Amino acid sequence: GESVGLHLPTLSVQEGDNSIINCAYSNSASDYFIWYKQESGKGPQFIIDIRSNMDKRQGQRVTVLLNKTVKHLSLQIAATQPGDSAVYFCAHGGNYGGSQGNLIFGKGTKLSVKP
């Protein structure tokens, strides 16, 4: 069945260091993956996405890597800042003729940035 999970529930990093958050998925047919950031008391906020025809995608200070062989997804945050402290979720997009609405979320990793 489809499931998305995370290797590490918590991650603590020093300000300025790079952060890596990992995620595993079980459905080899998955073709769309997204990372969300959720700050306390707020809704999830889109960070970056990647489709299965790619293995790397970069945004502003963030990079998503997809390894389809081992069904693994990671989010790299460069020069982590205190404002990056949040819970990070990976999610797999469902397939409804292109709709990404049925997202299957993992449990989340809490990132804490130490000043």
Residues near another protein, by CB under 8 A? 4, 41-46, 49, 89, 91, 94, 96-108
User: Measured from the CB of residue 18, what is the shortest distance to another protein in angstroms?
Assistant: 24
Which residues, 6 or more positions from 36, have their beta carbon under 8 angstroms from its beta carbon? 44, 45, 46, 47, 88, 89, 90, 91, 105
Q: What is the residue type of 100?
A: Q
Closest CB 15 distance from another protein, rounded Å:
25
Q: Taking the complex as a whole, how short is the minimal distance between the CB of residue 44 and another protein, in angstroms?
A: 5
Task: Give the residue with the Cβ less far from another protein, 78 or 104.
Answer: 104
